[in-house]
Chains A and B, each alone.
Chain A
Amino acid sequence: KQEVTQIPAALSVPEGENLVLNCSFTDSAIYNLQWFRQDPGKGLTSLLLIQSSQREQTSGRLNASLDKSSGRSTLYIAASQPGDSATYLCAASDSGTYKYIFGTGTRLKVLA
């Protein structure tokens, strides 16, 4: 059974810092790995999707990498801003059923 874990659970950084969020999954037979942002009381905002055949994706200040063999994905946020404060979730989709298994989330606070 796929399990997805995110470390750290919470992170507080000063504005301007570069930071890395980690996502680990136990079953490497994934179809996609997707990163989301969730603001308090809101739905999900898709950030980056990495197909299983890809190694990384970039969008603006965000870069996500995927290493299937080690069961890890990282989300790199450059030059963090207070507006980046949110919960970040990763989700791995099963290669057979396409179901998404969500990680435990990282609550990020960027201090002005």
Chain B
Amino acid sequence: GAVVSQHPSWVICKSGTSVKIECRSLDFQATTMFWYRQFPKQSLMLMATSNEGSKATYEQGVEKDKFLINHASLTLSTLTVTSAHPEDSSFYICSGDLDSYEQYFGPGTRLTVT
């Protein structure tokens, strides 16, 4: 199956700083990548959809200026959490879309903001 990686796997940052999470499709080109957030004991919630070379589309209630998404190539998308606060602490998971048939998910990044 297609493989998606995320880096870092976990990160701790101080309140007010920014942190960048990378999502890479290792063996396929992902026209579309998706970013999800998962709070403890809850399900995954879609944050945004990004297409290579264009602006991301954010779901209702997600602040686009806080969660900056860049999809620079068909194999790399980045999520930057700007001015992070403790309430941004969460598990962030990305996925890559292969021909719109199936999404392949990364292993996730655990963000803790102190």
Contacts and interface: CB of A to CB of B under 8 A. Distances in A.
A44 to B, nearest CB: 5
Given A43-B108, A44-B93, A34 B102 contact: yes
A105 B105 CA distance: 17
A89 B1 CA distance: 19
Given A46-B1, A105-B43, A99 B102 contact: no
Interface residues of B, number: 22
Interface string A72-112: 00000000000000000101010001111111110000000
A41 interface: yes
A102 B43 CA distance: 7
B7 interface: no
- Interface majority SS (helix, strand, loop, mixed), chain B: strand
Interface stretch (B44-52, B65-73, B75-83): B44-52
A61 interface: no
A100 B100 CA distance: 11
Contacts of A93: 103
Interface of A: 31-32, 34, 36, 41-44, 46, 49, 89, 91, 93, 97-105
24 contacts: A32-B101, A32-B102, A41-B110, A43-B106, A43-B107, A43-B108, A44-B93, A46-B1, A89-B43, A91-B44, A93-B103, A97-B49, A98-B97, A98-B100, A99-B34, A99-B46, A99-B49, A100-B34, A100-B46, A101-B46, A102-B36, A102-B43, A103-B43, A104-B43
